[in-house]
Amino acid sequence: MITLKEVTVWDTANHTYLVNDSKDRLYAYVVDGVLRELPRPLRFETRYRKFVTIQDTFGFVEPITVSGKKSWTVEGSGGNKYIVTQHGDTLRCSCSGFKFRGHCKHIEKTVDKTV
């Protein structure tokens, strides 16, 4: 996931976009400091526009589908990536902390996304 801040000179304000690594799918955007997630990824066009890559400080977690279940890839504090998967109304994480304790901080990052 890449966070792009648009710097193109327009008559209107520019936004910040959260896109996939190949920069062709838009997952969320930021307007006036508020993260707005899209219900599904949309095609994203970068031609004739200028962007700078910035650090993601918005806490966006990209949803993915694993075996027909809703899941999210979450980056841990050490840079490792874990998969949190929704099973009915419960969440499970692929990290070792979840295996030992039955809960983890990666699940806490995705709790508000399960609606």
With H, G, I as helix, E, B as strand and everything else as coil, classify residue 100.
Answer: helix
User: In the predicted model, is pLDDT for residue 66 greater than 60?
Assistant: no
**What mean pLDDT do residues 81-104 have?**
80
Least confident residue range of 15-24, 30-39, 48-57, 65-74: 65-74
The label of the residue with tokens 């966006």 reads: 60
What is the reported pLDDT for 115? 45
pTM > 0.75: yes or no = no
**What mean pLDDT do residues 29-52 have?**
87
What is the reported pLDDT for 100? 75
How many helices (H) and strands (E) the chain has is answered by 2, 9
**What mean pLDDT do residues 57-72 have?**
66
Q: How far is the CA of 6 from the CAs of 12, 15, 78, 81, 106, in angstroms?
A: 12, 6, 29, 27, 29
**Residue 93 CB burial class (10 angstroms; 0-12, 13-18, ≥19):** buried
In whole angstroms, give the CA distance from residue 113 to residue 102: 19
In whole angstroms, give the CA distance from residue 84 to residue 5: 28
- The pLDDT-based confidence of 112 (bands split at 50, 70, 90) is low
**What mean pLDDT do residues 70-92 have?**
81
What is the reported pLDDT for 53? 92
Extended strands (E) in the chain: 2-6, 16-19, 25-31, 34-43, 51-54, 63-66, 69-75, 81-87, 90-93
